[in-house]
Structures are given as structure tokens and as C-alpha cells.
Structure 1
Amino acid sequence: MEEASSVETPEHAPTRPQERDNMEPFRVDVPDDVLNDLQTRLKLTRWTDDFANESWQYGTNTAYLKDLVSYWIASYDWREHERAINAYPQFRTEIDGVPIHFIHVRGNGPHPKPLILSHGWPWTFWEYHKVIGPLSDPGSHGGDPADAFDLVVPSLPGYGFSTPLRKPGVNFWRTSGLWVTLMERLGYPRFAAHGADWGALITADLGHRYPERVMGVHFPMTLPLDLFSGGVPAPEDYDADEAPLSARLQNFFATESAYSALQSTKPQTIAAALNDSPVGLASWILEKQRSWSDCNGDVETRFNKDDLLTTIMIYWITQSYGTSARYYYEAAHDPWAPVHDRVPVVEAPVGISVLPEEICCAPRRWAERYYNLKQRRYHSSGGHFAAWEEPQTIITDVRDFFRSLN
């Protein structure tokens, strides 16, 4: 990937002087030899045996994985997706020795609000591409121009094009501080925030650590900020009708969290394998895309093959799996600690979208204590990849929440 020396300024690209002083325009331009090498590796895959695994109970089903890889070899066109990514204004900067890549789209409306969107693992910044147009230019997407946002969509440190990361200790709560600096550099002393997965924790920490800097925070995943030091809602916090929430969370820890244990303890060990094998990387990520989405076991009811492979490709071409996995290690080994003991813990106004198949959704009673809760909406479909699975839900909830704070 190469930073461009000059790029044509798109219509809604940022133009403030402080941005030009600190930001380098960026375009994705993957060398042909990287793509040729990928083709060779895919064709030389040594497949593992698989049996009695039709329901993926042992992990990624090899028959489906072979079908996906066949499509990857014969039909997937990275250049098409590269062009789509490059249609948005992108930049790179460095903050405290940490490289940060981000999309920045200026809103088309009378008074756009600055909004930063934070992703998680195994996500990339690109999982937000379905909401960028409607949130930045609502008038062109059936909405009210008064709801327009200036959008900042970064890659988390060590993920995708926010690489190479060679500084240890960067975790979710340190990232919230990086985001404050990033938004300052963009001319936004106060801003709105939304996030999911790690992005939800980053966003909640912004509302705890920097409540004066955020007009409000919104997320579809609710878990305590001290999760990595043992914080979980107590059983008595769950009302009778919330038993499925408790069961889903317990089932996640019992059957879905081995990846987290590995990435929190020995991420470099598995990085050696997944940085070398694109099929291994695909297997590792694909299983989460299927297990955590509201797809009823058929991942392509939510994401087509191009969707799945573009996420995998961003990890592959940037060789960022290893540092993305270390994000878990850094959270576990330098756990979050509060900067105040006031209640609610997250003092900034909070909005929550509750999707039925989200794996991490805290009970009402706990949420009402923990957050300065201003909006909570329940939805009939959707899973862990909220903005990717249910973009219109997130667009509507985000618009309504931040409009209510005017």
C-alpha cells in the first residue's frame, strides 16, 4: 500500500488548515505481486480432512471453505473493491507513534455533526461503508439534510491500513484517547461517537473518560468496561424476560471464546500461521462472521462472498492479523480502570440499539445504572455486525439519537 503524494480533493473532502498540516492523503494501491502471490498460495492449499461437521460444530466447515476459496481464485476481483474504497477520501496520520488510517467524509447539510465510527475484530473500517452515504448525505438517501454528519471512520490501531503498528500497549481504552487527538486534529473539539465490538468499548470509554468531549455515544453492544478484569452483570440484574440474554452470554463464554483466550495470551503464536496462509486466515475469520451474525447458520443470507472476502483481504494484504490479535493481549494485560467513581459510569448521553442476536447485550437494570441512558430501541433482526447486517436500523437510530440531543 502506498501513500499518494497528491490526490484530487473530492467534493466533501476535509479542507481545514490543521488537517493539511497533519494528515497525509492516502489511497489503497496493492502491488500486483501481492495479488499474484495470493493466487499461488490459494492454489497450493493443503486441505485438512473434515468429517461429521455439517453443522460447523467442530469449527469452519471445509466444504464451504473450499467453495469460498474456489470463488476467491476464479471470480473475486480485489481491484473492484479497491476502487470502491478509494472513492472515499482517506488519510493517514501518526499519533503518539501509532499509525492511524481513516476515511473522512464531510456532511452535506446545514450543520453537520462530527461523528466517529469505531469497528471491532474481525471487522475492518469497511464494514461501515453501507452507512457512510446516508449518514453524511441524508438528503440524497431519503432523509433530512439537517441530520447530516461529518464522518470519521478509522481503522483501529494495528488493523488494516493503520499499520505497521510496532508500539506495544495499545488497547481499547488507550484508543479512545487517540480518537480525541484525531478529532482535535480534524478541528472537532467536541463530537459524537458510535461503535460496535471493540468499537463499543472504545465509544463507552469516550463517554466515561472524556464526557466533556462527546455530545453523546451510541452502540449496539453493551458490556462493562472492566470486562477483562472480571466485570460482568450479576445474575440478579436480569429480569425474567431477559433469561435469553443471560443464556446467550454464558453460551458465548462457554463455546465461542477460545479465540479470545488465545489472542489474549499468545497472539504471536497463531499470527505465524495466519500471516502465512490465506485459507487459514479465511477459516479463522469466516467462522466468526457466521457464528456471530443473525444468519441462522447460512452466512450468505447476511454477507455475500465478496463481502466476506473483502474483509479477509484487508487483513491479508496489510498483514495485520497479528497486531489485531494483540489488541486482545493488550486489553487483558493492561485492563481498564475507572478515572472516576461517579454513577453512571458512562456519563455522556447514551443510546443503545438492541439486536436480538447480539452476543453481548447487558440487562436493562444494569444498563440503567451503568449508562446515562437516553435512548434504547429493540429490533427484530440483526446480530453482532450491526451496521453491516442492519444498516438502516443503525442509520435511523443514530440519526434519531443525536437529533434528540440538539
Structure 2
Amino acid sequence: MAVKTEARVDVAGIRPFTVEIPDADLQALRSRIAATRWPERETVGDQSQGVPLETIQALARYWEKEYDWRKVEARLNSLPNFITEIDGLDIHFIHVRSKHDDALPLIVTHGWPGSVIEQLKIVGPLTDPTAHGGDASDAFHLVIPSIPGFGFSGKPTASGWGPDRVARAWAELMDRLGYQRYVAQGGDWGALITDLLALQTPPGLIGIHTNMPGAIPPEIDALTQSDITGVNNALGSLPANLSAEERRTCEQLDFFWKHSAYALMMGTRPETLTGLADSPVALASYLLDHDAASLDLLCRSFAGQPVGLSRDDVLDNITLFWLTNTGVSAARIYWENKFSFFSAKGVTVPAAVSVFPDELYETPRSWAEQAYPNLIHYNKLDKGGHFAAWEQPRLLTQELRTAFRSLR
């Protein structure tokens, strides 16, 4: 992989950045795809054994023969990209300032298996609302960083880069950009990083938005996590006073933890995943299998029934992982993490919650109000899943405009 970082450095140590992938790297990718050795077909007629052979072979055919990386490369380079060193590590970020001077600064964080590509569809609507059905008063100055070990950010060479350290780096980044008053948003790892940023209470942070809220009561969070194999009967040990909605959320959590082998592998043995650096098809298959609802969505994309994400959407992100060789380095954040993904953490800053129906779990308002005592917005959407900015950019844009309106 080759990238271009211009030599010019401003007083804050921020360097312009351009993506330039050599043709030889793209040809090598196609050659590796063509050389894939395939296993036999799964022994079931559904997705219960993982990514179906039919799906990954359809992906590989399209990736090798038709997919064009240059389109998304041009799209990335059409936006202002930068690199800056924070705490000894290069941090890549997209920074788009709105033409509206009173726009509200917003830092948005992606998750796994994602990248800044997740957020490309919301850049225009958030920074230029008058061109996308909104008012000038809805405008944001947008900062979209790559988590260390992901995309074009540096790869830590020593341990210690957990989500809390990333959150501290984000506060430094916003300060370095001159933003003395800003809000933050995230899903997946971005949600945890955003919660931790709020707990650190940097002077400029005035509110957060999350589409994967850390709102599960700690005792229920611990109970469902402890029953990955099913021997502890977590659902049979739930508190008796739960509402039907809260019990349903517990069932969703229980299902997730019993189908989260990918997270357990990265959280305990990330370096064993060396195959992700050697085989593009192995990488693609691993990245597709995040959760049951997302896998179903992606399978439909490669079966000619796209809903929310196209084949190119999916491969833009996977190809970025391949070209930057970040399959293993991105996995290490799971190993570094010492925090619960889903439990309430004591966030007191103004917080907004959007609940998408195909998320890992649907957070009840009752738990959101307990977890975020300064809850300024709560809304349950009628469609969308785990990758909200990527799948449902219009809905997420509307949620962010509404959520932060009271903080402007």
C-alpha cells in the first residue's frame, strides 16, 4: 500500500493526506482472490454455520472481476483528509467544515468491522444541510477519525491503546482543531469510545449521541455475558420485575453472547488471526460475520437483493482493510478493552439515544433514562441495523439534527 502525506505541516502538527494505492497492489489482490482454495458447502440450508459458501463465492467473483476500488478512493480524496500525531501515534481523520459559520462541531467514530467508509454517506447531509433537505441551523463541522489500528491511522506497536485512550486522543484532536465546544457520536466501538469520552468530561464536550447505547443494568449485563455456553440459564435467572420490553432486550443480549465467537477470538487471541493478513477471502468472510441481522443483510446484497448496502458498499470497506493490512491490528482493540460494551457507565453529560430495530439489542427507554440521566432525546426507528450511518444515512442524519438541536 502507498499513501501520500504532504510535507507541509501547520502549527498544530496536522498534515494533509491523500490515498494513493498502486495498481500493483490491486492486481495482487485480484490474483490472491483467484487463487482461493475453497471448502465444501455448509451442511445446513441457512446461515447458522456462518457465511454461506454461495455468498462468499459471489463476493469473490465480483471482487476479482468487476469491483473498482478507484471509485471509493476518489470519493475519499474528494474530502479533506489529514494525519496528526497524538500520544506518539499517527491519527488519520476526515475534517469537513460546513459553509455555515455557526455549525456545531461533531466528532463521529466508526466501529468494527468498519472504517471511515461507514460515515461517507452522512458527510454531505450533516455539513451542507440546505442541499439535503435541512436548514442552515442544522449544520455540523464534521470530524471522522480512524481508530488506531484501523484504516489509515497508525498501528500501535505496544499495548495500551484501549478505547479509553482513544477517547483521550479524540479530546486532544478536537482541541487541536480549535473546537472549544463540540458533540460526539458513535456506534459499535464508536459508541463505547463516545461513552468513555463523556466520562472523561473534557472541557469542550457538551453532549453525545449513540446508536448502540451502554444502557444495560450492570447485573443483567454480567448475567448474560456469563452464559455464553448456555449452562448457567441466564434467562431463567432474570429479575422478576422486568417489563416485557426489558425481558425482550435480555433475550437479544443472550442471543448475541451465544453467537459472538468473533469477538471472543479477537479479545483473547488476535494474533492467531494471521490468515486475515494472508487471504483476502478469509478477511472478507470474517468481516461479514458480525451479527445475524447484518450477515443476512450482506448475504442479500450479494444475492441481488440489496437492502441498505450495495455490493460496492461492502467491498469498499473490506478492500480498505485489505489494502491497509489492518485485519489483525484492528482486532487488537478487543484484546485491549477492559470495559463492558453494553452496561451503563454513569454518563452525566446530555445524551441522545437512537434505537434501530436490527441493532444487537433494542434499548428500552426505561434503561436509557437510568443510564443517561440527562437524556435529551430518545427515539425508536422503524428500520435499520447495527451500521446505521452506512445502512440508513438519511435516518441517522435526521436523528443527529434532532438530537443536538437543544445544544446549539
Output the TM-score relative to the length of structure 2: 0.88
SS in 1 for 2:354: strand
**Is the 8 Å Cα contact of residues 163 and 320 (structure 1) preserved in structure 2?**
no
**Is the 8 Å Cα contact of residues 351 and 377 (structure 2) preserved in structure 1?**
yes
Most deviating of 43-52 and 281-290: 281-290
- The structural deviation recorded for 1:304 is 1.3
SS in 2 for 1:123: coil
Q: Are 1:267 and 2:267 matched, yes or no?
A: no
Deviations 1:148-181 (A, max 9, x none): 1110001111101012332311111111100000
- The structural deviation recorded for 1:52 is 2.7
Residue of 178, 181, 184 corresponding to 1:193: 184
**Is the 8 Å Cα contact of residues 293 and 382 (structure 1) preserved in structure 2?**
no
* Residue of structure 2 in register with 1:301 after alignment: 307
Distance 2:64 2:360 in 1: 33
SS in 2 for 1:192: strand
Deviations 1:349-383 (A, max 9, x none): 00000111110343333321221211101111111
* Residue of structure 2 in register with 1:50 after alignment: 41
Deviations 1:190-228 (A, max 9, x none): 21101000000111112222164311100111225998x
* Residue of structure 2 in register with 1:139 after alignment: 130
Extract structure 1 runs of 4+ deviating beyond 3 A: 18-21, 224-227, 229-238, 293-297, 334-337, 360-363
**Is the 8 Å Cα contact of residues 220 and 386 (structure 1) preserved in structure 2?**
yes
- The structural deviation recorded for 1:403 is 1.1
Distance 1:312 1:67 in 2: 15
Matches within 5 A, 1:6-405: 20-210=11-201, 212-223=203-214, 231=222, 235=239, 238-254=242-258, 256-270=259-273, 272-288=274-290, 291-292=293-294, 295=297, 298-299=300-301, 300-331=306-337, 334-335=338-339, 345-371=346-372, 372-405=374-407
Output the TM-score relative to the length of structure 1: 0.89
SS in 2 for 1:114: strand
Gaps of at least 5 residues in structure 1 are: 8-17, 338-342
Question: Could you tell me which amino acid in structure 1 is paired with residue 178 of structure 2?
Answer: G
* Residue of structure 2 in register with 1:15 after alignment: none
Question: Could you tell me which amino acid in structure 2 is paired with residue 393 of structure 1?
Answer: L
Deviations 1:218-242 (A, max 9, x none): 0111225998x96579746742234
Query: How large is the Cα RMSD of the aligned pairs?
Result: 2.6
SS in 1 for 2:367: helix
SS in 2 for 1:50: coil
**Is the 8 Å Cα contact of residues 266 and 332 (structure 2) preserved in structure 1?**
yes
Distance 2:42 2:362 in 1: 34
Distance 1:236 1:365 in 2: 16
Gaps of at least 5 residues in structure 2 are: 225-237
SS in 1 for 2:349: strand
Distance 1:118 1:296 in 2: 22
Identity level (%): 38
SS in 2 for 1:346: coil
Deviations 1:281-319 (A, max 9, x none): 001112227643783962432311111111101110001
Distance 1:73 1:88 in 2: 27
SS in 2 for 1:59: coil
Count matched residues. 387
Distance 2:70 2:291 in 1: 23
Question: Could you tell me which amino acid in structure 2 is paired with residue 386 of structure 1?
Answer: A
